[in-house]
Amino acid sequence: MRISGGQARGITLAVPKGDAVRPATDGMRQAVFSSLGARVAGARFLDLFAGSGGYGLEALSRGAAGGVFVEQNAKAAACVRQNIAAVCKSLRRDGRDLTVVQGDARTVPAVGAVPDLVFIDPPYDLIAEAAPGLFVKLAELLAPKPEALVVFEAPGEIELAPPGWTLLKRLGKGVRQPTVSFFRRTPPAAAPAVNGAA
């Protein structure tokens, strides 16, 4: 597993042994960041269910300002820290703008600045139970930034339609195949004008 683009392109990322994580494929991450384009430069990110940290570190390689990784599994969190060190060395920068939180991503911990990009790549068997609560918490967290994007990886057979959110794009298709959906908060409807109002 490698960084697929940006200044740290080609850096190998450590992945914990066993089935603790299911890393996003290099091709899928590349497609996601091609879609995000210029939105990544200077952005703050939140990487939930970070695993090896692939999504957040890909963002960092492509110019993100920094962000937070949330991962409950101790071995995976250790890999995230190891990968941060490798990517920061390649970028010739320190890691002061990067935080690793070892905890349950479903709590959506608020750490530092409100993110511009939220990456969510949960274990597939958790999605049905966890997704509704995640989107409720994210609506609160992202309220100051209505243009913030949520990038959610899920298998093709799962259709996410969280209330109050708009699906902008979906990459990939097929049952049991990884897909990524891009969501943004749905703007509140404008109040109708009142005829004859003074």
**Residue 36 · residue 89 · CB < 8 Å:** no
Residue with the bigger pLDDT between 26 and 36: it is 36
CATH code: domain 26-185 is 3.40.50.150
Q: In the structure, what pLDDT confidence band is assigned to residue 93 with cuts at 50, 70 and 90?
A: confident
144's tokens: 């100051």
Q: Give residue 198's pLDDT.
A: 44
With 0.85 as the threshold, say if the pTM is over it. yes
Domains of the chain by residue range = 26-185
For 102-158, how does the pLDDT look when each residue is reduced to its tens digit (9 = 90+)?
999 999 987 788 999 999 999 989 999 999 999 999 999 999 999 999 999 999 999
Provide, rounded to the nearest whole percent, the portion of the chain with pLDDT above 90. 65
Give the integer Cα–Cα distance in Å for 127 and 121. Answer: 9
The dihedral built from the CA positions of residue 122, 173, 187 and 128, taken in this order, carries a sign that is: negative
Beta carbons within 10 angstroms of residue 155's beta carbon: 14
Residues 1 and 54 sit within 8 Å (Cβ to Cβ): yes
When pLDDT is cut at 50, 70 and 90, the band that residue 24 belongs to is low
Helix 54-61 with 74-91: angle, nearest 10 deg: 10
Tokens of 186: 């749905």
Residue with tokens 């497609």: 31
